[in-house]
């Protein structure tokens, strides 16, 4: 089969690899659509493990099913989680499934930027394969994983009706956060970005106000929010200026959600007293999502409560995966870039 082998953001090669063999309890998925995630182009995180096949936002059809597989059959339209929790450890039982050791060790093989992937039995047993509703396309299904992460993040950050939300960074994750916060009844949703293209996209997908990050100040947020800063600041960018803006934009008693990974080795650029003392500010983080949140994301997409279809800006055949990586890495005029491995 063909795979897009990652060596760097500027070096993704079309190569040949064996079609994975499956064993009892496993399935083989023919990948139809595979989304490029912002974490896929986080080169500092990947470079010491290359070459490898990336891609975890996948949807396709079941090509083969091993002995003992239940509730799934050849031909089913599915999406799959690359990581799954065990549902029974200390972390899972305390509601922190995404720091479970099982979740950190599980994965499908070789990666979504290939014609086929093998899904291990544990992923299936722990609820990590999802039948797609008839009215959810394969392309739309590539949003299940990123949207489920957004759901988890906003739950941990306490986004709810009547709260004000500032989203810093209006790429794919930021735009999903804008839409989901709006669906929860947030009183005001504001956003920032350094790209005019993405500033315009933030407005299109529901932000009440969208600021050029190079010109943004907390005072501008106060001017549109009744003199208040944000109850929840969601950080979807990892550069130092973005972190500084986030910490300066949270209201007393508010929460900053560190959603995106920061630049390598970046430290908090503000004193502990300035952030916390007397202000009752919460800094929190979120990572990945549980199968329950994946199912919730599927329903949000199916019901069109979150519009993902209009976020797709580019599609590439597998041989052109490198073009997609360069586009996403440059943060240029794109939102969602999808690879189609069967083309």
State how far the Cα of 120 lies from the Cα of 108, in Å rounded to an integer: 6
Query: Are residues 161 and 64 located together in one domain of the fold?
Result: no
Shared domain for 230 and 120, answered yes or no, is no
Does 132 share its domain with 17? yes
Q: Assess whether 270 and 335 both reside in one domain.
A: no
CB 40 within 8 A of CB 90: no
State which residues form the domain around 261.
148-285
> What is the tens place of the pLDDT at every residue in 86-109?
999 999 999 999 999 999 999 999
Do both 198 and 224 map to the same domain?
A: yes
Q: State whether 168 and 128 are in the same domain.
A: no
Count: domains in the chain = 2
Residue 100 lies in a domain: yes
Using the predicted structure, report yes or no on whether residue 284 has a pLDDT greater than 90: yes
Rounded Cα distance between 151 and 141, Å, is: 16
**127/72 Cα distance (integer angstroms):** 11
pLDDT by residue (tens digit) across 56-85?
Answer: 999 999 999 999 999 999 999 999 999 999
Q: Which of 290, 303, 341, 293 is nearest to 133 (CA)?
A: 303
**Model pTM?**
0.96
In a domain, 87, yes or no: yes
Q: Classify residue 7: in a domain, yes or no.
A: yes
The enclosing domain of 196 has a CATH number of 3.40.50.720
Instruction: Say if residue 170 is in the same domain as residue 280.
Output: yes
Quote the pLDDT of residue 187: 97
- Domain presence at residue 78: yes
Same domain, 220 and 158: yes
Say yes or no: 115 and 166 in one domain. no
Same domain, 13 and 125: yes
Q: Residue 78 sits in a domain of what CATH number?
A: 3.90.180.10
In-domain check, residue 302: no
The answer on 266 and 203 residing in a single domain is yes
CA-to-CA distance for 92 and 94, rounded, in angstroms?
Answer: 5
Q: In what order do the strands lie in the sheet with 164-168?
A: 209-212, 188-193, 164-168, 230-235, 250-258, 282-285
Domain assignment present for residue 193? The answer is yes
Residue 298 is assigned to a structural domain of this protein:
no
Statement: residue 269 has pLDDT above 80: no
Predicted confidence band of residue 236 (pLDDT cuts 50, 70, 90): very high
Q: 141 pLDDT exceeds 90?
A: yes
Together in a domain, 123 and 154: no
């Amino acid at each position: 089969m063909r795979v897009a082998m990652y060596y760097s953001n500027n070096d993704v090669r079309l190569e040949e690899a064996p079609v994975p063999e499956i064993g009892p309890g496993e399935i083989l998925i023919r990948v139809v659509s595979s989304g490029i995630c912002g974490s896929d182009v986080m080169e500092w995180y990947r470079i010491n493990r290359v070459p490898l096949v990336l891609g975890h936002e996948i949807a396709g059809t079941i090509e083969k099913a091993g002995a003992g597989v239940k509730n799934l059959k050849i031909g089913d339209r599915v999406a799959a989680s690359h990581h799954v929790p065990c549902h029974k450890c200390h972390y899972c039982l305390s509601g922190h499934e995404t720091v479970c050791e099982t979740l950190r060790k599980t994965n499908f093989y070789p990666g979504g930027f290939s014609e086929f992937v093998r899904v291990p039995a544990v992923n299936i047993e722990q609820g990590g394969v999802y039948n797609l509703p008839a009215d959810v396309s394969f392309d739309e299904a590539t949003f299940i994983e990123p949207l489920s992460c957004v759901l988890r993040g906003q739950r941990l950050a306490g986004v709810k009706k009547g709260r004000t939300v500032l989203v810093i960074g209006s790429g794919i994750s930021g735009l999903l956060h804008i839409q989901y916060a709006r669906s929860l009844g947030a009183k005001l949703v504001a956003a920032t970005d350094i790209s005019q293209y993405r500033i315009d996209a933030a407005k299109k997908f529901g932000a009440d106000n969208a600021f050029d990050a190079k010109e943004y100040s907390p005072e501008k947020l106060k001017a549109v929010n009744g003199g208040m800063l944000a109850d929840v600041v969601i950080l979807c960018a990892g550069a130092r200026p973005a972190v500084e803006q986030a910490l300066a934009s949270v209201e007393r008693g508010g929460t900053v959600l560190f959603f995106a990974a920061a630049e390598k080795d970046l430290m908090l650029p503000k004193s502990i007293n300035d952030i916390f003392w007397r202000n009752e500010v919460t800094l929190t983080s979120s990572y990945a999502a549980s199968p329950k949140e994946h199912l919730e994301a599927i329903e949000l997409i199916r019901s069109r409560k979150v519009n993902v279809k209009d976020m797709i800006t580019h599609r590439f055949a597998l041989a052109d995966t490198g073009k997609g990586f360069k586009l996403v890495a440059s943060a240029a005029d794109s939102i969602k870039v999808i690879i189609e491995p069967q083309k």
